[in-house]
Structure formats: C-alpha cells, structure tokens
Amino acid sequence: MIRSMTGFASSSGTLEGWSWSWELRAVNGKGLDLRLRVPDWVDGLEVALRKQISAQVARGNITCNLRISSAESDGSLQVNAAHVDTLLTALHEIEARAMDAGVSLAPSRASDILTMRGVLEQAEQAQDIDALRDALLSEMPALLSDFNAMRAQEGAALATVMQEQLFKVETLAAQAASLAEARREDTATNLRRNLARVLDNSEGADADRVAQELALIAVKADVTEEIDRLAAHVAAARALIGQGGPVGRKLDFLMQEFNREANTLCSKAQSTELTTVGLALKAVIDQMREQVQNVE
C-alpha cells in the first residue's frame, strides 16, 4: 500500500515524577527532512530518535516535538543535615563564649533549631535520566505506528483517486486511437494528393530528399506510438501503486512521461477532435500529478 507524506500522531506518558507529551507531524517534501525539538539534557535521545524515525519514514518534512516536565513535589520535607551541622557548631561556639563571659543561656531545644531557616527543605525526587530516556524511546514505536497508520489511510484514498484518473487516461487514449483510425483514410488521401503535387513540380529535385520529406509528413501525422506509450505508462503506474512502499519519486517521473506523450499527441493531432482529446488528457495528467506530489 502506498502512503501519503502527510500525517500526525501524538501521545503522552509519565515516569517517577516526570511527565511528557509527543507530537509527530509531516508534510510533503522532496526528500527526508527530520526536525527534532527534544531536550538536549537527555543524553543520546536525539540520535536514537533519528534512527528510529528514519527507519520507518522514507520521504517528507518530519517534525517531532517532545515536551517534558517534572511533576510537582508531594510536599514531604527532609532535614538538611549539612546545614544542621553548621548550626550546631555555631551554637556550641556561642555557648562556650557565653560561658567564658559568665553569661547564662537557656538550653537549646530541637524545636527551636527546626524553625531556623534552611534546616527543613522539600524532599527531592530521584531523577534517573537514563530510565527517562529508555521510557521515552520505548514509546516511539507505538507513536510511529499510529503516525504511519494515518499516512497509510490517506495513501489508500490517494490510490483510489489515481486509479480513477488512470482509467480516464486509458479511456481518452482509446478515444484518440479511434479518432486516429477514423482519419487514417483521409490522411492517406491527403498524402497521395500532396505526393502528386510534389511529383508534378519535382523536376530537378532530389528524389531521395522528396521521399524523406514525404516520410516525415507521414510520421508527423501518426499518433500510434504515443497512444501505445500512454497505455504502457498506465500499466506501469498501476503496477507501482499496487507495489506500494515509497514509490512517489517513480510516479512523479512517470507523470513527466505521461505529459510528454500528451503534448506530442496534441502537436500531431491535425484535427479538432483529436486536439480536444489531447487537451483533456493533459488536464487529467496534471490532476494526477498533483496527487502524486503527496505520495511518499
């Protein structure tokens, strides 16, 4: 199945005080352009993400956004042991100096020390960056699966539209073949008339050159080759769509070949009816090429 180059997927998760949200989106592009907006303090995350995404996506401008936040503390407190040691040392020195000066101080109480600034502080949550990175990377396969599922769904719609357009090309090519066959006798009559006129006025002319010019006139009026190539291109396009995978570049090249045959058919038409069919072909091919621009 072919896939569209446009797509979107999102997800979110949590782990031990962390929460995050993913956004993965893509638009059309000539090649693969990955733009990752992820925190650089999670070591190795961007490199690993590039590897995972590039293994699943062949073409398109891909943007991957990751927002990470730390969950709020649960309000628990812990003693700042280093700060308490500093305070106790200071209290011991103050009491010793007071004793030397004959000043009597009231005994210090633990409740008094607890009220001092910096003794109690919010408990810090353990933050394991390696575990966070592993959790984030473990979510990427599911995110890519959702992303590709959306692109496959759009690709199926594109395939349906292109199959209908190929049928129109096939129908118009058949009309062109019928018109070319219908005018074959008129073309032959005109060629004989022109040949007689040339022969009547060819005294002193190079016979080989006259034959070459007449042959060129005949070739310019024959659209059989263009119609046959259009049929071959239709078959090739159907095979690529049926093959699936990243075939957008090949289909784009094939659209150029379709357009070339339609242009040549118009230039050789020499009749209003055949020119009308050629222009209709060009219109359908142009519409089909617009759809192909979305194929991965």
* Per-residue pLDDT tens digits for 70-102: 865 454 566 778 877 888 898 888 888 888 888
More confident residue, 94 or 22: 22
CA dist., res. 229 & res. 124, Å (int): 73
Burial class (CB in 10 A: 0-12, 13-18, 19+), 174: middle
Dump pLDDT digits (tens) for 211-227.
555 555 555 557 788 89
For residue 223, report the phi and psi dihedrals to the nearest 5 degrees: -105, 10
In this structure, what DSSP letter does residue 4 have? B
More confident residue, 78 or 28: 28
Dump pLDDT digits (tens) for 105-123.
788 788 777 777 667 654 4
CA dist., res. 33 & res. 29, Å (int): 8
- The secondary element (H helix, E strand) that includes residue 83 is helix 81-100
The per-residue pLDDT for 206 is: 59
- The secondary element (H helix, E strand) that includes residue 104 is none
The per-residue pLDDT for 23 is: 96
Which residues fall within 8 angstroms of residue 152, CB to CB, at 6 or more apart?
1, 3, 4
CA nearest neighbour of 39 among 100, 129, 114, 112 = 129
Q: Is the pLDDT of residue 36 over 50?
A: yes
Sign of CA dihedral 51, 55, 58, 62: negative
The predicted model gives 184-202 an average pLDDT of 64
- Range in 34-48, 62-76, 158-172, 225-239 the model is least confident about: 62-76
CA dist., res. 135 & res. 139, Å (int): 7
User: Any bridge partners for residue 33, and if so which?
Assistant: 61
CA dist., res. 196 & res. 190, Å (int): 10
Q: By the 8 A CB rule, do 34 and 53 touch? A: yes
CA nearest neighbour of 52 among 42, 64, 61 = 64
- Range in 4-13, 172-181, 190-199 the model is least confident about: 190-199
- 25 sits in the region (left: phi over 0; alpha: psi -120 to 50; else beta) called beta
- Range in 3-7, 154-158, 200-204 the model is least confident about: 200-204
pTM reported for the whole predicted model? 0.68
Average pLDDT, whole number, for the chain? 84
The per-residue pLDDT for 224 is: 85
Dump pLDDT digits (tens) for 261-286.
999 988 887 788 889 999 999 999 99
